[in-house]
Structure 1
């Protein structure tokens, strides 16, 4: 289990701040989409302002000399494009077809996807127990997505949204893995990697949004839609700062310990959904419990293996 000594407590706090913010973020993004801001412009608003906000924090905390790529501009741009453009476009477009609760359950697959990515890159097969946990978690996700009605999986746009949310989660897994490698290799602070990768990722977000608008895939939101979603936009922009606490927490506790905290996101989102009057069906709840249980079990299995951090 995670040792809760004084040194690790701050990293636990960082990750708790992150997952609570994410749990709030998804209901806000769903409300903004329903209010008339499509996924493209919601992403643009979030990271147009968010990248500026994080960059200002970097300059104030570490100095303007740290706001330099030091020859890693291409890598940081690719990382930011996958992590910020990929995550947010697929999330905000997908959540328009799906629900906030589904989004957070799919996000909870992050630990399993992280293991799969690490195994692929490092060319080592996961254990049989991990494979079984993965299958169990996947079955739980299927129950959440279909509400136990698998035969109708191809008859609703909701499943398209869930697929996009799964792709979004994979984008964030890729970002997390390589951002952590970047921090370890070049000894950059989590704040610096967040600011530079989000700034360069914002360039891709602006470009993609302009092309989508030109080809009528995206629509400039009305002033009424923006006014209706001002609180949602404020929350979404503010939560860009928790990427700093996410990277810091992962750096301090490691990927295995850190990604386990993602299991709290759907719990928070479900509580908010119930408070807002959303109906949570029995099969969705069973699937959510199965998925979270499989993720926790796999984390415990990994801790029993030698030479794992």
Structure 2
């Protein structure tokens, strides 16, 4: 699979995840946040399981693959969903966005140190441009009054857990395909989130949760943004590495911003369009997608 196809695939993931932010914000009117996370993960696991079983039934997973699969389940899904839900409530949206924007930088550094992915000048430039774009997005916000030290700390945990989970994905795909990593990690994390939700939530849904639109949005968020998005993301990490793939995460808040303008009638300013240019420049530099001769080994 060449670099251009992988880039198009990851851009699709970022669109799915960007609009997912808007969908989750809508769904919290009908489900408590922690309950919603558990429900979405269960539906995602149910969606992915037939794809693993269909070709020839259940296939045994090598013992060496279970540690990275468990790592993805613990870090990328369970702890990330838990800390993200808590952190966003406990700090401002500005601080949350800025802390999560450090993901590509930390992923690039840790991937170079822990799994020996090459650390190039273009990757660091890509991170810098992406971070500049995120700063432009949040520059016009004035909600830092809601920020707390505890909330910022929890958001750092949310960012760290996703970085560690991405490194586990790269390690696990040495032994099994990305589909197996994605499916089994969701199957492991979903029951844990459900059990936690049983203790944390006195109610699991509010009035109107099973109406047509809330249910349709829930299924799209679970099956496409969560399940399919995770599968395509893990496939991208397998092919181009965690550090290069992480550069695309800079596009998620940009997509979320434009989706909010489209669906929630939020206003856009010149800095938002400039941020889009910065993010696209950063992704182009860091991934080398402008170099038509660059190939990626399957």
TMscore range, shorter length: 0.7 to 0.9
User: 1:237 aligned to 2:230?
Assistant: no
Counterpart-to-counterpart distance in 2, 1:291 and 1:121 = 26
Q: Tell me the alpha carbon deviations over residues 112-147 of structure 1, each in whole angstroms, 9 at most, x when there is no partner.
A: 1202323553699x7999889868866765665564
For the residue of structure 1 that corresponds to 2:256, the secondary structure is helix
Provide the secondary structure at the position in 2 that maps to 1:224.
coil
> RMSD of the alignment, in Å?
4.0
Give the counterpart of 1:202 among 190, 197, 201: 190
Residue 279 (structure 1) aligns with: 267
Deviations 1:12-34 (A, max 9, x none): 3432331221121111011112x
Indicate how the Cα distance of structure 1 residues 103 and 16 shifts in structure 2: closer, same or farther if over 3 A, else same.
Answer: farther
Aligned equivalent of 2:161, options 149, 168, 171: 171
Change (3 A) 1:104 1:268: farther
For structure 2, the 5+ residue unaligned runs are: 292-296
Which residue of structure 2 lines up, in the alignment, with residue 86 of structure 1? 79
2:32 corresponds, among 21, 28, 38, to 38
Q: How far is 1:254 from its partner?
A: 2.7
Q: Deviations over 1:66-113 (max 9, x none)?
A: 4x46475565334302111122233344456766x9877765543212
Q: More displaced, 159-168 or 264-273?
A: 159-168
**Equivalent in the alignment of 1:12:** 7
* Aligned positions, number: 286
Distance 1:299 1:8 in 2: 8
Whether the 8 Å contact between 1:104 and 1:265 is mirrored in structure 2 is no
Distance change in 2, residues 1:272/1:21 (3 Å): same
Conserved 8 A contact 1:112-1:134: yes
User: Equivalents in 2 of 1:167, 1:90: separation in Å?
Assistant: 7
Q: Distance in 2 between matches of 1:297 and 1:163?
A: 31
Give the Cα–Cα distance (whole angstroms) in 1 for the partners of residues 273 and 148 of structure 2: 17
Tell me if 1:249 matches 2:236. yes
Separation of aligned partners in 1, 2:232 and 2:95? 24
Retained in 1: the 8 A contact 2:134–2:253?
no
2:294 corresponds in structure 1 to none
In the TM superposition, what are the counterparts of 1:97-136 in structure 2 within 5 Å? 107-119=100-112, 121=114
Q: Name the TM-score, length of structure 1 as normaliser.
A: 0.72
Q: Distance in 1 between matches of 2:4 and 2:182?
A: 22
Of the three residues 77, 93, 97, the one matched with 2:70 is 77
Distance 1:103 1:28, change over 3 A: farther
Structure with the bigger percentage of helix: 1
| TM-score normalised per structure 2 | 0.75
Query: Cα distance 1:18–1:139, how it changes in 2: closer, same or farther (>3 A)?
Result: closer
Q: 2:25 & 2:149 partners in 1: Cα distance?
A: 16
1:217-263 CA distance string (max 9 Å, x none): x6422242443622321122112122111111222223343223333
Q: 1:137 to 1:167 in 2, by over 3 A?
A: farther
